[in-house]
Structure 1
Amino acid sequence: MTDILADILGLAREQVLEQGIGLSQEQALECLQLPDDRVDALLDLAHEVRVKWCGDEVEVEGIVSLKTGGCPEDCHFCSQSGVFDSPVRSAWLDIPSLVRAARETAATGASEFCIVAAVRGPDERLMKQVRDGVAAIQAEVEINVACSLGMLTQAQVDELAEIGVHRYNHNLETARSYFPSVVTTHSFDERINTCEMVRAAGMELCCGGIVGMGETLEQRAEFGAQLAALAPDEVPLNFLNPRPGTPFGEQEPMSATDALRAVATFRLMMPRTILRFAGGREITLGDLAERGVRGGVNAVIVGNYLTTLGRPAGEDLAMLLDLKMPIKALAKNL
C-alpha cells in the first residue's frame, strides 16, 4: 500500500509539475489518503507546482460585510443564517464606512477588496447600495473590487460587470453528493448556474468552499474535481470554524495534517488557479499556516472575516516577507 501511495507523488510530479495537467478525482483521493510521513513531500511538490504554473507572487485581499446576518438560507455552517439561533444580528454598512474599509485594505498592500452580503440574492435595495459603493470606492481608492452577493439573475450579472466588478465570489461550499447535508433551501445546480453566468459575462470567477464539515475523503476529492471542472480564477479554501447556534456548531475542527493534505491536493488538481487561504485557518492550522502557504497557497485574506476574527494583517504580511513571497501589485482591468 505504501508503494502505491508513494507512486501518486511520482505520477503527480510528471503529470502536474511537468505537464500542467491537474490530478483527477481518483488521483486526488490517493493524495488525501497519503500517510502522515508523506505529507511534507506532498506539500513540497505542491509548492513546486505553484511556483512553476502561477509564479512566486501572493495576492492579498480584504473583505467587508455590506449586509450582515438575517439571511433566509439554512447553510448549516453559517452564523449569518436567520434560520438558526445565532448571536449574529442583521446590520447594514453605509457607503462612507465601505470606502473607509476599502482604503484601509489598500493600505495593507492588498490588490483586492470584496463586498459581501448575507442574502439569498440581491434585491434592488442591495443592488443600489452596491452600485453606489463600487462607484465611491473606484473614485477614491486604487483597488480591484469584487462582490459576493449570493445567487444572481442574468440582469444582475450584466449590471455588476458593467459597473466594473471584476471578480465575483460564489462558493459551491462542498461536493454535490454532500450538499444536501449542508444546505436545503437551495440547490447545488442553482449555485453552478450563477457561476456559469459570471464567467460568461467576462467577470473573473471566485469559487471555493469549506472542508472539514463532515464530508468523507471521497467527497473531498469529488469537491475538488467539481471545482476544477468550473475552472475558477480563484478558489478560496475555508476550514470549518464551528459557530455556536448552527447545526455544525458542535463539530470538531479538522486536524492540521488533514487540512494541509487538502491544501496541497487542491493545488495539484488546479495547478494554475489562485488558491486562497480563507476562514478557519487560524484554529485549524495555527502555527502551521506558514507550512500551508509553502504548500501551494498563493493568496490570503488579511484581517478579519465576516463574523470571525482572523490574524492581524501585519502578521500575515510579515509571514509573506519572511517567506520571501512578493505581494502581487494591483493590476487594473482595462
Structure 2
Amino acid sequence: MTQAPVTTEISADDVLTVAREQVLERGIGLSRNQVLDVLRLGDDRLGQLLELAHEVRVTWCGPEVEVEGIISLKTGGCPEDCHFCSQSGLFASPVRAAWLDIPSLVEAAKQTAKTGATEFCIVAAVRGPDERLMAQVAAGVEAIRNEVDIQVACSLGMLTQDQVDRLAAMGVHRYNHNLETARSHFPKVVTTHTWEERWDTLRMVRTAGMEVCCGGILGMGETLEQRAEFAADLAALEPDEVPLNFLNPRPGTPFGDLEVLPAADALRAVAAFRLALPRTILRFAGGREITLGDLGARQGILGGINAVIVGNYLTTLGRPAEQDLDLLGELQMPIKALNETF
C-alpha cells in the first residue's frame, strides 16, 4: 500500500511569501495544494491577498481590461440537466425556448461595440448544435463581420470535429465551453453528460486554432478542496480566458435554494484563481452583482480580474454597461483595444 504524502500547514505569511516569489517574480502559477492554502486564508489576510493578485495581474497581463458582451441566439428548451440553469427544459423554471433573428443579432453586436467591447459572444442553450443552429450561426457571424468591427466568439455546447472545423473556417475567434466545476464535483451538478465530454470539445477547439474560453461557477456546493481542484483543472487546460461566475440561484432549478456565496469567499477565490493562472484573461461574469455588489466589484477588479462582461447575461440582469465602464475609468484601467486582441 502506498503511504499518503505528509503535508504540513504553512502560515498565512508563508503562503503569500511563496506566492510572491513563485507567481509574481517567476510567473509560475500555484499548484492545487498551494491554491487550497490560499483559499484557507483568514479574512484578516484578504486585503494583502488581493493586493498581491493585482500585482500579478498587472505584471503578467498588463493594465488593460478586456470588455465583452454576450447574446443568446437560442434561449431555453435545453435537454441537459445542469442544476444551476433555468434554460433546462427538464426543470420548472421560467425560461421558454426562443430564437433571435439575424438583424437583432447584428444590432446587439453594434450596441456591444459602442461600449468599447472587443468581444461579442453568440450563445445557444443546447447540448450541441444541430444543422439549423450551425446555419444560423454561420449567417450571424458573416453578418456581424460585414457590419461591426468586433471579434466574434461562440458558445454552442459540445461539438463534433466537423463542427469545430466549420466554426474555425467562419472566423470564430474564441470558443466558450465551461467545465463549470471540479471534475470530482461535476456529477452533482450535471448528470446528462460528463466532464470528459466537455474536455474533449475544448481539446478540439484548441487544436483547430480558436482561442479557448473555459471557466465555471463558484458556490454550487463544492468544498474548498474542490475549488482548488477546479483551479488546477483549468491551469492544466491552459485556456486563453477563464470566466468566473458566482451562483445566482434560479427559482425552479435544483440549486434554486442554495445560499449565495459570501463576498469574502468569492474575492478569495478570484485572487486564488489569478495566482493559479497568472497569464490568463480572468473575466468577471454572472452572479457578481448579488455576490459582491458595487464595493466587491471594485475589490475584484483590484484583486486579479482583467476582463468583464458588460450588460445583461443570458437569463439574469447585470449592471448597466456604463457603471462598469465608469468604474474602469475611475480606477484608471484602460480598455483593451481591438487590435490588441489578436
What TM-score do the two structures reach when normalised by structure 2? Answer: 0.96
> What amino acid sits opposite 1:309 in the alignment?
L
* 1:51 counterpart SS class: helix
Q: Give the whole-Å Cα distance in 1 for the aligned partners of 2:170 and 2:341.
A: 12
Residue of structure 2 equivalent to 1:269: 276
Kindly tell me: are residues 46 and 100 of structure 1, through their superposed partners in 2, closer, same or farther at Cα, counting changes over 3 Å?
Answer: same
- Displacement of 1:167: 0.1
Deviations 1:111-133 (A, max 9, x none): 00000000000000000000000
Residue of structure 2 equivalent to 1:121: 128
Deviations 1:229-253 (A, max 9, x none): 0000000000000000000000000
- Displacement of 1:5: 2.2
- Displacement of 1:6: 1.9
Identical columns (%): 75
Residue of structure 2 equivalent to 1:37: 44
Residue of structure 2 equivalent to 1:317: 325
> What amino acid sits opposite 1:275 in the alignment?
L
Aligned residues: 334
Q: Give the whole-Å Cα distance in 1 for the aligned partners of 2:139 and 2:9.
A: 58
Q: Decide which of 233, 240, 250 is 2:240's aligned counterpart.
A: 233
Q: How does 1:242-257 map onto structure 2 within 5 Å? A: 242-257=249-264
- Displacement of 1:296: 0.4
Residue of structure 1 equivalent to 2:300: 292
> What amino acid sits opposite 1:55 in the alignment?
G
- Displacement of 1:332: 7.7
Mapped contact 2:57–2:304 kept (Cα < 8 A)? yes
> What amino acid sits opposite 2:63 in the alignment?
D
Residue of structure 1 equivalent to 2:111: 104
Residue of structure 2 equivalent to 1:85: 92
Structure 1 alignment gaps of length 5 or more: none
- Displacement of 1:4: 1.4
Mapped contact 1:144–1:332 kept (Cα < 8 A)? no
Deviations 1:68-110 (A, max 9, x none): 0000000000000001000000000000000000000000000
Q: Give the whole-Å Cα distance in 2 for the aligned partners of 1:184 and 1:251.
A: 18
The question of 1:13 aligning with 2:20 is answered: yes
The question of 1:202 aligning with 2:212 is answered: no
Mapped contact 2:109–2:144 kept (Cα < 8 A)? yes
Q: How does 1:97-246 map onto structure 2 within 5 Å? A: 97-246=104-253
> What amino acid sits opposite 2:275 in the alignment?
L
* 2:153 counterpart SS class: strand
Residue of structure 2 equivalent to 1:278: 285
> What amino acid sits opposite 1:318 in the alignment?
D
Q: Give the whole-Å Cα distance in 2 for the aligned partners of 1:114 and 1:175.
A: 24
Residue of structure 2 equivalent to 1:70: 77
Mapped contact 1:73–1:120 kept (Cα < 8 A)? yes
* 1:241 counterpart SS class: coil
Which 4+ residue blocks in structure 1 deviate beyond 3 angstroms?
Answer: none
